[in-house]
Structure 1
Amino acid sequence: MSAPFDTVSILNVPFIKTTNQAFVAQLEQDVLAHQNRFVVTANPEILMYAREHPEYQQVLQQADYITPDGIGVIQGAQILGTPLPERITGYDTLLALLKWGAKQHQRVFLLGAKPAVLKQVVAKLKSTAPNLVIAGALDGYYADETTVVDQIVAAKPDMIFIATGFPKQEFFIAAHRHQVDGLWMGIGGSFDVLAGTVKRAPKFWQKHHIEWLYRLIQEPSRFKRMLVLPRYLHLIKKIAKQSKS
């Protein structure tokens, strides 16, 4: 495929250089053409994990589109002197595709989250997007991957959204995407936000790039994960300095 977007490399991961609007328009076009697409929405945590796990780094290289999900990625691109236009989050992309999918009567398959959360997501979509065809929905607590894949194949979905968290969701997509020509996208904790069990940061926090702080206040258990950010920025600054010298 000839790449529709230029890319910017951060820690050997190629991020698409585009806007939310242009990206969603491209995905819509891909879905209507029944193209097989693998989308990764990556934040600094994913970048650092990929750096330490070569097998995950290889999976990322197989993705068709990697978006800068997280202000840290935008900051990193800036420091390296290769700025990206804006954040493209998994959650916003998911919402845009579900809204568009409803208008187009698209078939979606939802995989991930706790059973109760998934039930709420399905109920919400049935009331807010009645024309969306929910071809299948399975929670993330499955024992047998083969059975899950069989169900996805049988459902003939146009879009498959997987919310089992990284790196699990990306490994799953890389292993099975060839079985259905559709859009495969890992969306982390998006079902929890969609169901309302986890609150998304209000616009003010998003606008001032402190969404991470809001989430930390909501979920103090994330503190250890947040420590990745200063490590990541330190590494980026070091790389930027080396490239200048």
Structure 2
Amino acid sequence: MENYAKVMGVKFPKITLDRTVEILSSVIEQKRSQLFHVITVNPEITMACQKDKLLRSILDDAGLITADGIGIVMVSRLRGGNLPERVTGYDMLLRLLDSGNQKKWSFYFLGADPNTNLKVVEVIRDKYPDLLILGRHHGFFKQNEEDKIVEEIGSLKPDILIVALGAPNAERWIHKYRLKLNAKIAIGVGGSLDVIAGKVKETPESWKRLNVEWLYRLIQQPSRWKRQLILPRFAIRALLFREKSKL
């Protein structure tokens, strides 16, 4: 039996959140010279990479991709792929912070607006006092500041680089500078820092269990409605998708 499920040609490993954290813990413990890029792939990224060859190559080169969204999981099950569960950037980040606190891992936080970036570091330092925060920078930097940020991260060599520049911008940024960042793991986490900082309300567990987190986010942030329009289009295209023949 295959250990991955394909959704619109993208291979998703059949792993749980627990197993994901185990894999990343192992990566940190190893002496790797190459950055391990983790990408949490949602329907938007899955759709975009059908036409965007660079984005598709970034996914193909990633150390690990996970199913970030119930839509990915449901389509996989309807097509016989049977992904066990979704593994979101937010849930993964919380687990890594918890493990990092126990194992004294080092982090660098890049992204969000200036106030949120400052606040999230304060919150994390208070809640996870034993992990190491080597540095931080907000995501509203100018192009002429970029090289300095990359140089700083490269000199600090964090175990985990958290990038909140929005998807797929974070994934492109990590890939662009992958040879200079000197981090063991880099992950794009979307708007997760906004939630941890308290700028955006966390989705209640009851909504998550019903798989309607997208609806809760839409209620909290009505401006997301345009993004949500892609979900029905994704479902139809993904269910009708035919793998290209290798012949």
TM-score normalised by L of structure 2? 0.92
Structure 1 vs Structure 2 CA RMSD: 1.8
Which of 214, 226, 233 is the aligned partner of 2:228?
226
1:51 aligns with 2:50: yes
1:14 aligns with 2:11: yes
Residue 181 (structure 1) shift = 4.3
Aligned equivalent of 2:89 = 90
Separation of aligned partners in 2, 1:34 and 1:187: 24
Separation of aligned partners in 1, 2:183 and 2:121: 23
Separation of aligned partners in 2, 1:239 and 1:11: 6
Separation of aligned partners in 2, 1:6 and 1:183: 23
Separation of aligned partners in 1, 2:173 and 2:203: 29
**Other structure's SS at 2:50 match:** helix
Aligned equivalent of 1:142 = 141
Contact 1:40 1:60 in 2 (8 A): yes
Which of 202, 212, 215 is the aligned partner of 1:213?
215
Gaps of 5+ in 2: none
In the TM superposition, what whole-angstrom CA distance separates every residue of 1:55-114 from its partner, at most 9, and x where no partner exists?
211111111111001000001101211110011111011011111111111111100000
Separation of aligned partners in 2, 1:148 and 1:118: 14
Aligned equivalent of 1:161 = 162
Separation of aligned partners in 2, 1:58 and 1:26: 22
Identity %, equivalent residues: 37
Separation of aligned partners in 2, 1:133 and 1:8: 36
Residue 13 (structure 1) shift = 1.4
1:120 corresponds to which letter in structure 2?
K
| Count of aligned pairs between the two proteins | 239
Aligned equivalent of 2:108 = 109
Separation of aligned partners in 2, 1:34 and 1:205: 40
Separation of aligned partners in 2, 1:181 and 1:165: 20
Separation of aligned partners in 2, 1:101 and 1:79: 36
In the TM superposition, what whole-angstrom CA distance separates every residue of 1:8-34 from its partner, at most 9, and x where no partner exists?
221121111111111101101111114
Contact 1:62 1:174 in 2 (8 A): no
